[in-house]
Amino acid sequence: MEPANDNVESKTDVLIIGAGPSGLMAAYWMARCGINARIVDKRGTKVFTGQADGLRSRTLELFDSIGFQHRVHQEGHVAVEANFWVPDGKGNLIRQGPHCSSKVNESPFRNMLLNQGRIERFLLDSIQEHSDLQVERGVIAETFEYHNEVDDDPMGYPITVKLRTLSDEANPPGLHMAGPNQSAVASGVAPGNLLPDDWIELIAKSKAKETKTEIIKAKYLIGCDGAHSWTRKQVNIPLEGSTTDHIWGVIDVVPISNFPDIRRLGTVTHASGTILVIPRERNMVRLYVPVQTIEASAASEGRFDRSKITLEMIKGRVQAIFAPYTFDFQICDWWTAYQIGQRIAPTFSKGSRIFLAGDAVHTHSPKVGLGMNMSMQDGFNIGWKVALVAAGAAQASILGTYDAERHRLAEMLLDFDRHWSGLFTDGDGESKTRNMIKVVELFEDFAEGRNSFYGTSELVWKLENDEGPPAARHMIPGERFPPVKLRMQADGNLRWTTRLLESDGRFRVVILAGDVRTATQKDRLLVLTQHLSKSDGKQGAVLDRYAPIVGCFDCVIDVIAIHSAPWTEVEFFDFPEILRPFDPVQGWKYDKVWCDDACIWDRDCDGKGYERWGVDRLLGAMVVVRPDQYIGWAGELQEVDELTRYLDGILIQKTANEGL
Amino acid sequence: MEPANDNVESKTDVLIIGAGPSGLMAAYWMARCGINARIVDKRGTKVFTGQADGLRSRTLELFDSIGFQHRVHQEGHVAVEANFWVPDGKGNLIRQGPHCSSKVNESPFRNMLLNQGRIERFLLDSIQEHSDLQVERGVIAETFEYHNEVDDDPMGYPITVKLRTLSDEANPPGLHMAGPNQSAVASGVAPGNLLPDDWIELIAKSKAKETKTEIIKAKYLIGCDGAHSWTRKQVNIPLEGSTTDHIWGVIDVVPISNFPDIRRLGTVTHASGTILVIPRERNMVRLYVPVQTIEASAASEGRFDRSKITLEMIKGRVQAIFAPYTFDFQICDWWTAYQIGQRIAPTFSKGSRIFLAGDAVHTHSPKVGLGMNMSMQDGFNIGWKVALVAAGAAQASILGTYDAERHRLAEMLLDFDRHWSGLFTDGDGESKTRNMIKVVELFEDFAEGRNSFYGTSELVWKLENDEGPPAARHMIPGERFPPVKLRMQADGNLRWTTRLLESDGRFRVVILAGDVRTATQKDRLLVLTQHLSKSDGKQGAVLDRYAPIVGCFDCVIDVIAIHSAPWTEVEFFDFPEILRPFDPVQGWKYDKVWCDDACIWDRDCDGKGYERWGVDRLLGAMVVVRPDQYIGWAGELQEVDELTRYLDGILIQKTANEGL
């Protein structure tokens, strides 16, 4: 007999299961776009130690668009140069390096290390800033039903999930609460991928206590519930791939070591394997340590007794590989062990209502330092799409691009991981270093997120040969908007485009207005803005054509201009009205007109944006940036019809009585 | 008859009256150095709107040393270039400018605008991070006694203050709580300097309700209680100076104006006076507006009826001066009026136990944008001195330097204000602009805090001609440590010296180690560090010679090294042991060895520190930085005896049984 409280039944537009980095990224969009949403997590608290820590420059750019990059920069540890240590054949280790990418300055931000717990904190703060959405912790999904009959009804709630609050027994307080200053060595293995799924056990324990349940009906479900994803299992999507026979230990320690590069990113190679060294905040260092192969530890069937891996054993391995340098520690903040393997789901979505993100659909070795980044970018990608569709602003068809865009990236991630992980067990010193640099360079644009590799879809109007249009050669649809530091025309303040292109849910038409000192160019700009704002016949003009994000923005499209004239030779009030919208209470909006001109008081603002974008400084160009800062379309200033066609394929037009 | 709760009697080492910017700055040091302290404020809440807003670069450098500069940078508005608008004689206004200081890049930070409420928030967060010290709000000081008989006893509590909790009537909730999004026009004049002192009235109202009282005995008292300072009156220190006959209005509004530079720093001049325009965060602009002279409004005795000044009247004045441009607003966040004048106390301290800071000892026109900066720097200056003396780490004699250092600066502030304010009422357009630029340039080094002008004392060992020593020509005792971005040797991370020289209460011996690749220089460094750390005869060596900051630091002196060799050609473990202290649990400390070498991934780290400091790259130099980042002594690497003499004059030596 079920307890009485099963009668509690609620509706929500979007249900997110799992409040790790990918779930929180998705939730950010719900908060930002005013979506009726819920987010639950079986864990009683957020993580505080260990887990993922690597932040690639693209992820930091996205943080800037959300508004908390400065907090990461204040606390995190930068890791740019890498050193490779190899044996010299005489019992010594010698340094090869430092190696630094020649492309390091292509982002405003450098790769950083900061533990997942802080990132979750910053995301939670952003969610709170924009909404009342709270993570419901200690809550687990128990049953799932899908009602096909309302699948096609945009107002329908085809998903039914029963949620159960975990009992204290199933969710012991403090389980994951090792504090930041923990000085004792942790006594057990933290959840690595060697641990079995505990979902069923947690439910059983809680059922026995007749804990509170709730039936939720949802329009959309986003499963961000990790490698053992319950959501994925409900929709019968497998995780395909294989596991190798290599077992690795991971430790976060405050090292006591005379190894010269213990505070620098790098590898240390020994006949029996290679250690990856990753310096972190608060004097901690993370080490990835090859521990053993399964053959050596168990019978031929490949079973593995995880109780055999201890912190002492991992320490012993480090000492052996670091020799003749010393290695020890008193403080271990976190440790775990994992079995190398690559698994990926064949699809990241089920129909047009259910989506899976992060570890739920791709697992791999953590050594490439990309897991949290890819997971967050998954959540970022599906989040805005579901939010805009749920808000009635975008067509449901765009949801299909999630799988198309992210699955390909996940495959590249696994490919990178296979190449990279292999290097840690194969090859000798010299060639290993060369191979490592080669692999890093091969995957660099992908790993840093400088290229997104998003293919053609209604959201990405690619040209042949994957190039930008002649008017904006480096503005490639499907890729990120190349970051530049700009001056605001009205007040002269500086801003990176990563922050300027704020993640607020809107598409952005970026008018690269060219040299507006010339009468011709001024006129082209005027004609363009008139086309964008005024009705020209039966259909509404671009800015009056589409349904709003109700409660957030009257128009789902923001328009900004970036001109190339010197800052002092142009006046704000000379720009067309749609670039300085007027409100009788708030006055003019000043933050839509920007300038690509060098500024003497900031070396990063060098006036070379047009050059970086491949845009003619006189003639300019036009670009549509998606809500996630990726370029959707690029063309010339007069191509309003083409622009409109692009947007018509994505956004929902106002109905007759609303708009025209 | 007094109420019974007068029996409550407490002791504290330091009592701070007033929790505005200067009081909070002083409180920061108490929090940081673990001092037993109390801080009270008559206001029921911190300020949220209006008040001061200008942040000079030196203040931002100090914020960086405390750890929250990044928060100011994220929220604040930069104001670097200034435009001067003057009549052209044909009824138009013409722009002269923009004018930008040629010295703008001498600090890592640019002048910013952000309201006082946010600054107080950041300071409160820092205090909370380091201690349990809380501001006690709605508490007023009622009586004061000084017991001369224990004046000379370092353990004595000569100060007795009765505190009274204000009644609800005296301290109406919400009085100062106008929210940041307030959309209505405020209905009254906020406290400007035209309002009479309400201290006695507040006490009377609260006494009538027999509110809670407490007797506090304190070793030190810091009065940061504003222009009507109760503390100053208790010790009979006057505020000397005069008031002019000019009345000014100040408004924080979201302007609706077609004036081209409404979002830029500048002035607008008209026959009847000059308006100062200061753009701020959240699209607000602050305007300083000449309203009228007293003669025009009242009788010849100079009395002034403040009820005659209304927001409408100020708006009308702006409209007249801005013509032919329009000006209006719907949102007024805050407004006030003040009478121009300069007043200063002849001394900022009474004996060696009582100190006054901020508006309590100097009041002036707010138009120079320095008030909050000077007040905070007062609190910063007296705070560390009192904290170290209260901690038993520094000699009480250093407290005398507070008045010597800050009084001179306050006089310069008033001098600047007299020059600057005069320009707003005298002169015509063209010459006015020239004069304004001249005055700004004349006072620039002072205003920005690039020069501190601290004179010779036990804390500042100046050379003749006010220069740096031959070994470090631009390291001038009494001035700030010229900011440079450096690389940490161990991990390659970058840090500005402003953050590196953390405000933690310690003196810092900065060893500019020179080119440590050479054997000679390596040897000089070794000899120096041996002298610093080892006992050489009767007296303890520098690092084992002085009393600790109990509960915070075993040694009141921190030592760091900055070498000039290329980052890749030097190893961390080659540096002497005192530069990499070892702890059996925490391992080596890595953050004491830094490198002045250019870094390819950050243009601000250009390897030109030695050049800026006037130090030979081969031979190096040595500098002592006070806890407030000012240079106390500078010399050559071998001058340990001189260094020791400097420190002996400031710090308390360990007693025989402790140290030797």
3 state SS for A155-182: CCCCEEEEEEECCCCCCCCCCCCCCCCC
User: Could you tell me the pLDDT band of residue B5, with boundaries at 50, 70 and 90?
Assistant: low
User: Could you tell me the pLDDT band of residue B387, with boundaries at 50, 70 and 90?
Assistant: very high
Could you say which DSSP state residue A511 is in? E
CB contact under 8 A, A255 and B603: no
User: Could you tell me the pLDDT band of residue A339, with boundaries at 50, 70 and 90?
Assistant: confident
Is A122 inside any structural domain?
A: yes
pLDDT tens digit sequence for A299-317: 445 556 666 788 999 999 9
A288 included as an active-site residue:
yes
CATH number (domain holding residue B90): 3.50.50.60
Q: CB under 8 Å to B650, separation ≥6 — which residues? A: B394, B395, B398, B458, B459, B507, B632
pLDDT at B439 over 50: yes
Span B540-556, average pLDDT = 92
Is B459 inside any structural domain?
A: no
Cis ω on the peptide bond leading into residue B173 (within 30° of 0)? no
pLDDT tens digit sequence for B203-238: 999 988 889 999 999 999 999 999 899 999 999 999
Contacting residues of A for B263, CB less than 8 Å apart: 490-491, 572, 590
**End residue of a domain, out of A448, A482, A512:** A448
Same domain? A498 vs A412 = no
Alpha-carbon distance B588 to nearest alpha carbon in chain A (angstroms): 7
CB contact under 8 A, B331 and A81: no
Cis ω on the peptide bond leading into residue B98 (within 30° of 0)? yes
Give the pLDDT score at B367: 79
Give the pLDDT score at B380: 98
Share of chain B above pLDDT 90, in %: 71
Span B452-470, average pLDDT = 92
* Range of weakest confidence among A365-374, B214-223, B356-365, B404-413: A365-374
Is B48 inside any structural domain?
A: yes
DSSP character string of B398-427: GGHHHHHHHHHHHHHHHHHHHHHHHHTTSS
Chain A stretch 526-545, residues whose beta carbon is closer than 8 A to a beta carbon of chain B = none
Same domain? A397 vs A501 = no
Give the pLDDT score at A430: 73
The C-alpha atoms of residue A520 and residue A119 are separated, in whole angstroms, by 48
* A373 closest CA partner among A446, A284, A267: A446
pLDDT at A170 over 90: no
User: Could you tell me the pLDDT band of residue B22, with boundaries at 50, 70 and 90?
Assistant: very high
Q: Which of B93, B126, B493 to mutate to test the interface with A (most CBs of A within 10 A)?
A: B493
CB contact under 8 A, A256 and B603: no
pLDDT tens digit sequence for B266-286: 999 988 789 999 998 888 999
pLDDT at B165 over 60: yes
Give the pLDDT score at B184: 34
B280 included as an active-site residue:
yes
Maximum pairwise Cα distance, chain B: 83
Is B377 inside any structural domain?
A: yes
Give the pLDDT score at B534: 74
**Which phi and psi (to 5°) does residue B215 adopt?**
-95, 125
Same domain? A151 vs A204 = yes
Same domain? B476 vs B413 = no
Same domain? B608 vs B643 = yes
Pick the more confident residue, B458 or B246. Answer: B458
Pick the more confident residue, B651 or A191. Answer: B651
**End residue of a domain, out of A448, A483, A506:** A448
* A504 closest CA partner among A540, A456, A544, A554: A554
* Range of weakest confidence among B22-36, B608-622, B645-659: B645-659
Read off the pTM: 0.93
pLDDT at A491 over 60: yes
Is A455 inside any structural domain?
A: no
The C-alpha atoms of residue B110 and residue B77 are separated, in whole angstroms, by 10
Give the pLDDT score at B475: 97
* B227 closest CA partner among B92, B343, B348, B108: B343
Same domain? A444 vs A472 = no
| Half-sphere exposure at residue A227, Cβ-oriented, CA atoms within 13 angstroms | 21
Q: Is A445 helix (H, G, I), strand (E, B) or coil?
A: helix
Helix (H) or strand (E) segment spanning residue B386: helix B371-390
Give the pLDDT score at B639: 96
β-bridge pairing B485-488 and B494-496? antiparallel
The C-alpha atoms of residue A241 and residue A417 are separated, in whole angstroms, by 13
Span A406-417, average pLDDT = 93
Closest-CA residue of chain A to B64:
A74
Is residue A590 within 8 Å of residue A488, measured between CB atoms? yes
Helix (H) or strand (E) segment spanning residue B95: strand B93-99
The sign of the CA dihedral B433, B434, B435, B437 is positive
A652 alpha-carbon distance from chain centroid: 26
Is A393 inside any structural domain?
A: yes
Give the residue carrying structure tokens 């004491």: B592
What residues make up the domain containing A582?
464-659
Nearest to B585 among A264, A331, A585 (CB): A331
Is residue B138 within 8 Å of residue B206, measured between CB atoms? no
H helices of A277-370, where? 294-297, 311-322
Span A15-39, average pLDDT = 97
User: Could you tell me the pLDDT band of residue B57, with boundaries at 50, 70 and 90?
Assistant: very high
Closest-CA residue of chain B to A105:
B601
* A556 closest CA partner among A394, A390, A396: A394
Is residue A343 within 8 Å of residue A365, measured between CB atoms? no
pLDDT at A528 over 90: yes
Any CB–CB contact under 8 A between B493 and chain A?
A: yes
CB contact under 8 A, B264 and A491: yes
Is residue A341 within 8 Å of residue A241, measured between CB atoms? yes
Pick the more confident residue, A339 or B391. Answer: B391
Give the pLDDT score at A6: 58
Pick the more confident residue, B473 or A417. Answer: B473
Same domain? A122 vs A172 = yes
User: Could you tell me the pLDDT band of residue A366, with boundaries at 50, 70 and 90?
Assistant: confident
Is residue B279 within 8 Å of residue B263, measured between CB atoms? yes
User: Could you tell me the pLDDT band of residue B660, with boundaries at 50, 70 and 90?
Assistant: very low
Same domain? A529 vs A634 = yes
CATH number (domain holding residue A488): 3.40.30.20
First to last CA, chain A: 57
Pick the more confident residue, A228 or B537. Answer: A228
Is residue A355 within 8 Å of residue A384, measured between CB atoms? no
Nearest to B81 among A70, A279, A492 (CB): A492
Give the pLDDT score at A172: 56
Same domain? A515 vs A653 = yes
Is residue B170 within 8 Å of residue B74, measured between CB atoms? no
Q: Chain A to chain B, count of Cβ pairs less than 8 Å apart?
A: 106
Give the residue carrying structure tokens 């002034």: B304
The C-alpha atoms of residue A168 and residue A44 are separated, in whole angstroms, by 9
Same domain? B280 vs B362 = yes
* Range of weakest confidence among A10-24, B149-163, B230-244, B328-342: B328-342
Is residue A48 within 8 Å of residue A181, measured between CB atoms? no
Q: CB under 8 Å to B268, separation ≥6 — which residues? A: B85, B93, B259, B274, B275, B277, B321, B322
Give the residue carrying structure tokens 């191979």: A435
CB contact under 8 A, B587 and A283: yes
A42 alpha-carbon distance from chain centroid: 22
Give the pLDDT score at A177: 34
The C-alpha atoms of residue B582 and residue B220 are separated, in whole angstroms, by 37
Same domain? A202 vs A300 = yes
The C-alpha atoms of residue A198 and residue B301 are separated, in whole angstroms, by 86
User: Could you tell me the pLDDT band of residue B426, with boundaries at 50, 70 and 90?
Assistant: low
Give the pLDDT score at B266: 94
Q: Which residues pair with B110 in a beta bridge?
A: none
Closest-CA residue of chain B to A104:
B601
pLDDT tens digit sequence for A105-140: 999 999 999 989 999 999 999 999 999 999 999 999
* A27 closest CA partner among A189, A213, A278, A220: A220
The C-alpha atoms of residue B355 and residue A595 are separated, in whole angstroms, by 50
Span B652-657, average pLDDT = 77
H helices of B285-370, where? 294-297, 311-322
* Range of weakest confidence among A170-179, A236-245, A476-485, B422-431: A170-179
CB contact under 8 A, A601 and B80: yes
Span A367-379, average pLDDT = 90
Give the pLDDT score at A198: 84
Cis ω on the peptide bond leading into residue B324 (within 30° of 0)? yes
Maximum pairwise Cα distance, chain A: 83
Q: Is B220 helix (H, G, I), strand (E, B) or coil?
A: strand
**End residue of a domain, out of B414, B448, B482:** B448
Letter for the amino acid at B486? L
Give the pLDDT score at A427: 64
Any CB–CB contact under 8 A between B587 and chain A?
A: yes
Is B412 inside any structural domain?
A: yes
Same domain? A519 vs A595 = yes
Any CB–CB contact under 8 A between B584 and chain A?
A: yes
Letter for the amino acid at B168? D
Any CB–CB contact under 8 A between B80 and chain A?
A: yes
Burial A332-344 (b: 16+ CB within 10 A, else e): bbbbbbbbbbbbb
Residue length of chain B: 660
* B73 closest CA partner among B35, B28, B108: B108
Burial B275-293 (b: 16+ CB within 10 A, else e): bbbbbbeebbbbbbbbbbe
- CA distances B293 to A33, B272, B298, Å, are 53, 11, 9
Mean pLDDT rounded to a whole number for chain B = 89
* Active-site residue identified among A53, A261, A504, A515: A53
Residue length of chain A: 660
Q: Which of A493, A575, A592 to mutate to test the interface with B (most CBs of B within 10 A)?
A: A493
**Which phi and psi (to 5°) does residue A618 adopt?**
-80, -50
The C-alpha atoms of residue A568 and residue B260 are separated, in whole angstroms, by 12
CB contact under 8 A, B603 and A601: no
Any CB–CB contact under 8 A between A493 and chain B?
A: yes
Pick the more confident residue, B292 or B224. Answer: B224
pLDDT tens digit sequence for B298-311: 444 555 666 678 89
Helix (H) or strand (E) segment spanning residue B445: helix B429-448
Share of chain B above pLDDT 70, in %: 90
Span A375-400, average pLDDT = 97
Alpha-carbon distance B258 to nearest alpha carbon in chain A (angstroms): 8
CB contact under 8 A, B263 and A584: no
Mean pLDDT rounded to a whole number for chain A = 89
Number of domains forming the structure of chain B: 2
Q: How many helices (H) and strands (E) does chain A have?
A: 16, 30
* Range of weakest confidence among A291-305, A327-341, B36-50, B406-420: A291-305
pLDDT at A174 over 50: no
Chain B stretch 340-379, residues whose beta carbon is closer than 8 A to a beta carbon of chain A = none
Cβ burial, residue A571 (10 Å; 0-12/13-18/19+): middle
Is A459 inside any structural domain?
A: no
The C-alpha atoms of residue B122 and residue A585 are separated, in whole angstroms, by 30
First to last CA, chain B: 57
